[in-house]
């Protein structure tokens, strides 16, 4: 049940986690990454062969992360919007782990959910706005990068449906979702929440993240000493690997499977299944007997990364053609101006 972990060991660890969650007035904080969304069919960014950046590396980009670089966006926004079209909320159903977070809220033990994900699936699962902190932003809001004018999601979606780059009605600047790009500051709210939470957490659950992106990666290391830290992941990472605490619990297994096992021991299994099936029916319109298992969705995530890269490549070609058209227009305008000047000179000579 995970590399180096037998069934007996992981069962004991799960029992310990359950006892921590059942303590009176327990305050639980989650620190989550892309690994909780791959079971939804969303590719992660950093997996060596199947991740989004690995696929984007094959394209004519300055570097894979350029799609999320604010300076690159100003010059070539089409690449980002091609990717955004594929990841836009409404296509994906929250995973069982997302609904496990929701159940922690329903049971009154959720202090906060800090997420690196931009997919808004925590909110779609029903986690309250005041309980979710999207450290890297999300698709929840949209603003002009020049004047900060807000654009409703429906209007931005209309631009995207027409294959147009969303532009501001106020200043004609580009509009983008409130995703934090390289070159932009993290939301102030992150530090406001963290100052409030850092010493008020009893159980810190870190799940589906490589803890490779700072400053988010430092949060589990900074959590107060009274907190019991739990890692649910495919492999050890971050502070759990380099500077572990004696009380740390490490569960090296798929996040959804751990969510199911914990809910079984907590007596929440029926609630979890009901939430997940309702979510599938709401988003996909599928009856219970047609719901795809999360494992098949994870397989789709790798294929989706390849598909997105191919569409981004087409977007880059679009940007290239647009640049050429702009240059041609400028050149034609300059030629027209030169002709007008020449005509004026000829006219003066003729009059003379």
Domains of the chain: which residue ranges? 7-308
Instruction: Identify the pLDDT of residue 294.
Output: 55
pLDDT for 276 equals 94
Instruction: Enter the tokens of residue 11.
Output: 């069962």
The answer to whether the pTM exceeds 0.85 is no
Distance between CA 81 and CA 242 in Å, rounded?
38
For residue 1, what pLDDT is reported? 44
- Residue ranges of the annotated binding site for Zn(2+) are 144, 147, 168, 171
pLDDT at 311: 58
Provide the annotated active-site residues: 136
Terminus-to-terminus CA distance in the chain, angstroms?
96
User: 28: which strand partners?
Assistant: 110, 203
Pick from 48, 38, 174, 145: nearest CA to 93:
38
- Rounded to 5 degrees, what are φ and ψ at 255? -60, -40
Residue with tokens 């005509």: 343
| Per-residue pLDDT, 237 | 95
Under 8 Å between Cβ of 143 and 184? no
The CATH code that applies to domain 7-308 is: 3.40.50.1220
**What pLDDT is recorded for position 135?**
97
**CA dist., res. 78 & res. 318, Å (int):** 7
Buried/exposed 139-175: b ≥16 CB within 10 Å, e otherwise: bbebbbbeeeeebeeeebbebbeeeebbbbeeeebbb
pLDDT digits (tens), the chain, 352 positions: 445 577 888 999 999 999 999 999 999 999 999 999 999 988 876 666 556 776 677 666 788 788 899 999 999 999 899 888 888 888 899 999 999 999 999 999 999 999 999 999 999 999 999 999 999 999 999 999 999 999 999 999 999 999 999 999 999 999 999 999 988 999 999 999 999 999 999 999 999 999 999 999 999 999 999 999 999 999 999 999 999 999 999 999 999 999 999 999 999 999 999 999 999 887 766 555 455 555 555 555 556 656 556 656 665 665 566 555 555 565 565 566 555 655 565 566 655 5
Q: What is the pLDDT of residue 2?
A: 45
Would you give the DSSP letter of residue 48?
T
Q: Say which DSSP state 185 is in.
A: P
Determine the Cα–Cα distance for residues 134 and 136; give it in Å rounded to an integer.
6
**Annotated binding site for NAD(+), which residues?**
34-38, 44-46, 116-119, 209-210, 233-235, 255
């Amino acid at each position: 049940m995970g590399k180096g972990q037998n069934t007996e060991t992981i069962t004991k660890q799960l029992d310990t986690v359950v006892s921590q969650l059942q303590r009176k007035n327990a305050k639980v904080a989650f620190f989550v990454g892309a690994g909780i969304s791959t079971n939804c069919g969303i590719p992660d960014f950093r997996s060596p062969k199947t991740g989004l950046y690995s696929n984007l590396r094959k394209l004519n980009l300055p570097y894979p992360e350029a799609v999320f670089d604010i300076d690159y966006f100003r010059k070539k926004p089409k690449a980002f919007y091609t990717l955004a079209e594929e990841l836009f909320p409404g296509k994906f159903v929250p995973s069982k782990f997302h609904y496990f977070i929701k159940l922690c809220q329903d049971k009154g033990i959720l202090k906060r959910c800090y997420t690196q994900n931009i997919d808004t699936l925590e909110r779609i699962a029903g986690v309250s706005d005041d309980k979710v902190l999207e450290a890297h932003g999300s698709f929840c809001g949209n603003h002009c990068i020049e004047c900060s004018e807000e654009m409703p999601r429906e209007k931005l979606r209309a631009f995207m449906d027409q294959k147009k780059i969303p532009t501001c009605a106020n200043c004609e600047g580009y509009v983008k979702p409130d995703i934090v790009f390289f070159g932009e500051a993290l939301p102030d709210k992150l530090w406001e929440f963290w100052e409030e939470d850092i010493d008020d957490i009893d159980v810190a659950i870190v799940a589906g993240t490589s803890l490779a992106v700072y400053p988010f990666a430092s949060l589990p290391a900074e959590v107060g000493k009274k907190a019991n830290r739990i890692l649910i992941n495919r492999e050890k990472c971050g502070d759990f690997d380099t500077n572990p605490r004696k009380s740390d619990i490490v569960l090296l297994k798929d996040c959804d499977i751990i969510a199911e096992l914990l809910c079984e021991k907590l007596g929440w299994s029926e609630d979890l299944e009901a939430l997940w099936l309702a979510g599938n029916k709401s988003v996909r319109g599928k009856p219970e007997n047609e719901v795809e298992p999360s494992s098949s969705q994870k397989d789709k995530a790798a294929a989706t990364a390849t598909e997105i890269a191919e569409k981004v490549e087409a977007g880059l070609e679009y940007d290239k053609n647009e640049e050429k058209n702009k240059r041609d227009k400028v050149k034609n305008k300059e030629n027209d101006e030169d002709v007008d000047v020449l005509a004026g000179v000829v006219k003066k000579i003729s009059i003379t």
